Amino acid sequence: MKKDQLILGIETSCDETAAAVIKNGTEILSNVVASQIESHKRFGGVVPEIASRHHVEQITIVLEEALLQAGVTYDDLDAIAVTEGPGLVGALLIGVNAAKAVAFAHGIPLVGTHHIAGHIYANRLVQEIQYPALSLVVSGGHTELVLLTEPGSFKVIGETRDDAAGEAYDKVARTLGLPYPGGPHIDRLAQEGTPSLKLPRAWLEEGSYDFSFSGLKSAVINTLHNAEQRGEKIEPQDLAASFQASVIEVLVTKAVKAAKEFDVKQVLLAGGVAANKGLREALTDAFAGLSMDLIIPPLHLCTDNAAMIGAAGSIMFEKGKRSGLDLNGNPGLDIEVF
Ligand code: KG4
Ligand code: ZN
């Protein structure tokens, strides 16, 4: 009988310090996340220096807790998968150095892993992936359509030319005076409002799978300011609903078009904005009559976590990827070649 594969995932690319133990790439034995959101809230966004300090304080505790909850020791592990990028360099370095120290001390193979590959392979913790698959990646830093023709191979067929979807959510939320991170607040408001305001949809050139959200973000800000100057009141829930309708219409339309063109078996939703209720519902409706399966991870696997890094790291480990003790944090890591 084949021995179970145990991978320790480590994630510190932004404002969550996380560690998880994953069995055979698909089963979560533990998934520990220490969030720093409360510390960054009062600044209206993530402060890199504060993020790094919190990671330093938390990483050892989080690692020990992940092993304890999984009921394993370092000697049971087959590999350590750590997010090497993209992300905040000071934040990445804490996870990378912790992973290197443990790998060196216990003689465990090290696998540098891509953060977005992690978001995509969070879907593997829900259902085994069938190829070709298309992933709609919508996070705070990325908005992309990624084609996966085989395990661990990623081709970006479209990406944002300016703001990421999550970034647009956070900026619009800030304009409405909502706390950071704003995405969940806009989502909640949008459920209460009607999309009655006319806002643009950036389709870009015919056939392009790229996205653009900065024009929409400016349109929201202008709509609000113009109304203020005229002494008119705009209901924030209607503005949230109108903004969300524009984002979702473009994301869903392009995802459906790409899924058909590349004749994929599965569509994988990924990234923090995948927690958006409106987006989840719209995608579910759009793919209901189509041949491909839509997979939507549960909320706790959509936002940053280390289980997803373990799931992606397991694929890269099986493909033979090994990182040396010279592994470094790489804020600009490319998903097509990492
Ligand atoms: O993937 P993630 O946890 O971190 C990055 O790798 O960027 O994504 C965080 C982003 C934030 O911009 C946050 O506002 C957004 O995900 N987000 C949401 C929702 N929940 C989180 N955006 C819209 N609706 C939500 N329900
Ligand atoms: Zn993320």
The pTM (predicted TM-score) of the whole model is 0.95
Q: 84 with 145, same domain?
A: no
Residues 307 and 244 in one domain: no
- Measured CA to CA in angstroms, residue 242 lies from 52, 206, 226 at distances of 36, 24, 16
27 & 79 share domain: yes
In the predicted structure, residue 265 carries a pLDDT above the cut 90: yes
Residue 2 pLDDT > 80: no
CB burial of 67-97 (b: ≥16 within 10 Å; e: otherwise) equals: bebbebeeeebbbbbbbbbbbbbbbbbbbbb
Q: 243 and 277 share a domain?
A: yes
Would 333 be classed as within a structural domain?
no
185 and 40 part of one domain: no
Residue to substitute in 113, 123, 169 for testing ligand 1 pocket (most ligand atoms within 8 angstroms of CB): 169
Task: Specify whether the CB–CB gap between 275 and 302 falls below 8 A.
Answer: yes
Q: Per the domain annotation, does 143 fall within a domain?
A: yes
Residue 329 lies in a domain: no
Check whether residue 67 and residue 26 sit in a common domain: yes
Compute, in angstroms, the gap from residue 2 CA to the centroid of ligand 1.
Answer: 38
**Rounded Cα gap, residues 188 and 266, in angstroms:** 28
Contact 305, 19 (CB under 8 A): no
**Of the ligands numbered here, which is closest to the C-alpha atom of 309?**
2
CB neighbours of 231 closer than 8 A, spacing ≥ 6? none
Give the list of residues 6+ apart from residue 119 with CB closer than 8 angstroms, or none: 137, 139, 270, 271, 274, 302, 308
**One domain for residues 191 and 99:** no
Chain segment 222-254, per-residue pLDDT in tens: 999 999 999 999 999 999 999 999 999 999 999
How many domains is the chain built from?
2
Residue 66 belongs to some domain of the structure: yes
Q: Is residue 191 part of a domain?
A: yes
Same-domain pairing of 187 and 62: no
Check pocket membership of 90 for ligand 1, CB cut-off 6 A: no
Q: Is residue 338 part of a domain?
A: no
Question: If you average pLDDT over residues 247-262, what whole number do you get?
Answer: 98
Q: Is 234 inside any structural domain?
A: yes
Regarding whether 115 and 264 lie in a shared domain, the answer is no
Which among 98, 83, 154 is positioned nearest to 307, based on CA atoms? 83
Q: How far apart are CA 96 and CA 306, in angstroms?
A: 13
The answer to whether residues 85 and 179 belong to one domain is no
- Give 154-167 as a DSSP string: -EEEEEBSS--HHH
Give the domain range for residue 311.
Answer: 6-121+302-318
Q: What is the pLDDT of residues 60-94, one digit of tens each?
A: 999 999 999 999 999 999 999 999 999 999 999 99
Query: What is the Cα–Cα distance from 300 to 294, expressed in whole angstroms?
Result: 18
Ligand 1 atom 2: the closest Cα is on which residue? 272
CA-to-CA separations, 81 to 7, 10, 21, 180, 316, in angstroms, rounded: 7, 6, 10, 29, 9
Q: Looking at residues 38-65, what average pLDDT do you find? A: 90
pLDDT tens digits, 272-299: 999 999 999 999 999 999 999 999 999 9
**Residues 193, 97 within the same domain:** no
Domain of 13, CATH number, reads 3.30.420.40
Domain-located, residue 266: yes
Q: Are residues 291 and 306 in the same domain?
A: no
